[in-house]
Amino acid sequence: MLLREDAMKPIEILVVDDDLGNILLIRQALAEEPYPINLRVAPDGRRACQMLAAKSIQPDLVILELNLPKMSGWSVLESADPYVPVVVFTSESNETDRRMARELGVVDFVEKPTHPVDFVRAVSEIVRQWAAVPQLQ
């Protein structure tokens, strides 16, 4: 995304999810936000770990599904930068997963809504709460 020098810096978000429908809904949610967002997507845990380790992206927020191919979301959590907020956004959850995620430094654990409107709203709330959202005048 190209921005004028005096424009606000875009928020960098890494979404780690293998479901194309979820990615589409997340893109829709972020397109409706009033500030610039650069969205990067890792379709599996291995790719997410590679991106984070290579510093090819320095996200302001990671939105992470736990159930991933090639390498689990748990492995991504173990290798994530502790200074970058990670929100688990998953379709399956239980108290054990929530507790373990908190122990690994997750700032929030959100169960994915099944209705698309609720899904988009949840993504927007995650970004507004945990990303460094610029204050609009």
Give tens-digit pLDDT for 27-41: 999 998 888 999 999
* Dist CA 22 CA 67 (whole Å): 13
Which residue ranges form the domains of the chain, and what is each CATH number? 11-130 (3.40.50.2300)
How would residue 2 be classed by pLDDT, with cut points 50, 70 and 90? very low
| Residue 51 Cα to chain centre, angstroms | 14
Give me the pLDDT at residue 133, please: 63
Give me the pLDDT at residue 110, please: 95
- Cα atoms found within 13 Å of the Cα of residue 47, Cβ hemisphere only: 13
Tell me the residue type at 68: L
